[in-house]
C-alpha cells in the first residue's frame, strides 16, 4: 500500500549504526545541513550503548538498538549492515518510521525505490516505508550520467572503478594505515579485511565472485543503474578495483549515446548539473583527485573528451567521497525530500 502517514516539519530522526564510519558521517551531515529534526537518536549495538558521539556542539548518548527504539521516530537512517536492516525492517515500518537504508538488503526489491535525489527524486514518494540508498560507486556514476542522458539517451556505459579502502568500513581504513606503516618498516603485513595486502597495491576484487566471473560489486552497478534510470535499455559493463586510497572513489567512465553529443554540449550540461562540479583544464593539470577531495559533497568530473572507438562516445573521470555522497549525504538528501 502507498505510504500515507504525513511527515512532520520537524521529524524525529534515528541514526542506526551511529558508531560506524557512515553513521558518524550521517550525524555530521545532519548537523552541517541544519536538518530540522525535533530530535536525533544515535542507535548502535549493545556493546556501544552508553558511549557518546559529538553532535551540534554537544553529545549524543548512544542507545542500544532494539525493535522498540523506533517508537516515535519519523525517519530512520540505517547504516548497520544488511542483516540488521532485514531484522528490523518490520519494527521500523510498524512504528510509522520511514527507513532510508544504506545496505544492499532492499535495493533490488520491487516496491522499494532506489533513489539518488539529483537523478530520480520522484521515486522517493513511491515508497511503502523503505527507501534504498544505492551502492556508493553507482551513486556518483549516475549523478554524472544524468545530465548527459538528458542530452541523448545512453546506450552503453563502460566503467572502471578505483575504490577507496573506506568503502569496506572503518576497520579497512585502519588496515591501510597499519599496513602502510608495516610496509615502510619492513614488518610482516597484517591482512584481515581484504583478500590481499592493500598498502601499495591494487586488488581487482570487491565483494564475492559470481558464476560469470564478475563480482557482486560489479553486478550492483549494472542492475542499480538500470533501476535508477527506469530502463533496461542502458547496457553497463563494470570492473571494480580496490586501491590504497583512504576516502573518495574514482571512476573512468566511457559512455556511448544513441545520438551525437559533443564535448561542448556535455561540458555545458555537466557544469549546470546539480551536485556536479566540472574540474577539467588539462592546460593547468586540473582534474579531480581522490586524495584531495575527502570530505566534499559533490561529484567531480574531469578529463572529458571524445571516445572515437564508438560512433557517439565520450569518456570522463569521476571522483566523489563515497562516505559522503556515496552514503551519508545521499541518505540525508532523501530525508530532505520527504520534508513537507
Residues 6+ apart with CB under 8 A from 94: none
Whole-prediction pTM value? Answer: 0.96
Q: State the total domains in the chain.
A: 2
Q: Does residue 5 belong to any structural domain of this protein?
A: no
Query: What range defines the domain where residue 278 resides?
Result: 138-322
Q: Where are the beta strands (DSSP E) in 124-184?
A: 130-132, 154-163
Q: Which three cell numbers stand for residue 23?
A: 553513521
Would you say 81 and 53 are in contact if contact means Cβ atoms under 8 Å apart? no
pLDDT along the chain (340 residues), means of 10: 88 97 96 98 96 97 98 97 97 98 97 98 97 98 98 98 93 96 98 97 98 98 98 98 97 98 98 98 98 97 98 98 97 98
Task: Tell me, yes or no, whether 277 and 170 share the same domain.
Answer: yes
Determine the Cα–Cα distance for residues 31 and 33; give it in Å rounded to an integer.
6
Cα separations in angstroms, 248 against 168, 220, 285, 295, 296: 12, 18, 19, 9, 9
Same domain, 55 and 194: no
Q: Both 278 and 264 in a single domain?
A: yes
Res 14: pLDDT: 98
Closest CA to 89 of 73, 105, 74: 105
Catalytic positions are 136, 249
Which pLDDT does position 328 carry in this prediction?
A: 97
Amino acid at each position: 500500500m502507498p505510504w500515507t502517514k504525513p511527515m512532520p516539519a520537524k521529524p524525529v530522526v534515528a541514526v542506526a549504526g551511529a558508531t560506524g564510519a557512515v553513521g558518524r558521517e550521517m550525524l555530521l551531515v545532519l548537523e552541517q545541513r541544519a536538518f530540522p529534526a525535533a530530535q536525533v537518536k544515535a542507535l548502535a549495538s549493545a556493546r556501544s550503548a552508553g558511549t557518546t558521539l559529538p553532535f551540534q556542539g554537544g553529545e549524543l548518548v548512544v542507545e542500544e538498538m532494539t525493535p522498540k527504539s523506533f517508537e516515535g521516530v519519523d525517519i530512520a537512517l540505517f547504516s548497520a549492515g544488511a542483516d540488521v536492516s532485514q531484522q528490523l525492517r518490520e519494527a521500523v515500518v510498524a512504528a510509522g518510521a520511514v527507513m532510508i537504508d544504506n545496505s544492499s538488503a532492499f535495493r533490488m526489491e520491487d516496491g522499494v525505490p532506489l533513489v539518488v535525489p539529483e537523478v530520480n527524486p520522484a521515486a522517493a514518494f513511491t515508497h511503502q516505508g523503505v527507501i534504498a540508498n544505492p551502492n556508493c560507486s553507482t551513486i556518483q556514476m549516475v549523478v554524472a550520467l544524468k545530465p548527459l542522458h538528458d542530452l541523448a539517451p545512453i546506450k552503453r556505459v563502460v566503467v572502471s572503478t578505483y575504490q577507496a579502502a573506506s568503502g569496506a568500513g572503518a576497520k579497512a581504513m585502519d588496515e591501510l594505515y597499519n599496513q602502510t606503516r608495516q610496509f615502510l618498516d619492513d614488518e610482516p603485513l597484517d591482512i584481515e579485511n581484504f583478500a590481499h595486502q592493500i598498502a601499495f597495491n591494487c586488488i581487482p576484487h570487491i565483494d564475492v565472485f559470481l558464476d560469470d566471473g564478475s563480482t557482486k560489486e560489479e553486478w550492483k552497478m549494472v542492475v542499480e543503474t538500470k533501476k535508477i534510470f527506469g530502463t533496461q535499455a542502458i547496457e553497463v559493463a563494470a570492473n571494480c578495483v580496490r586501491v590504497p586510497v583512504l576516502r573518495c572513489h574514482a571512476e573512468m567512465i566511457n559512455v556511448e549515446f544513441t545520438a551525437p553529443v559533443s564535448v561542448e554540449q556535455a561540458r555545458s550540461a555537466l557544469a549546470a548539473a546539480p551536485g556536479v562540479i566540472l574540474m577539467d583544464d588539462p592546460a593547468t593539470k586540473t582534474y579531480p583527485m581522490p586524495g584531495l577531495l575527502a570530505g566534499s559533497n559533490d561529484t567531480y568530473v574531469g578529463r572529458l573528451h571524445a571516445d572515437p572507438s564508438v560512433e557517439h562516445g565520450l569518456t570522463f573521470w569521476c571522483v566523489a567521497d563515497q562516505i559522503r555522497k556515496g552514503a551519508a549525504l545521499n541518505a540525508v538528501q532523501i530525508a530532505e525530500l520527504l520534508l513537507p
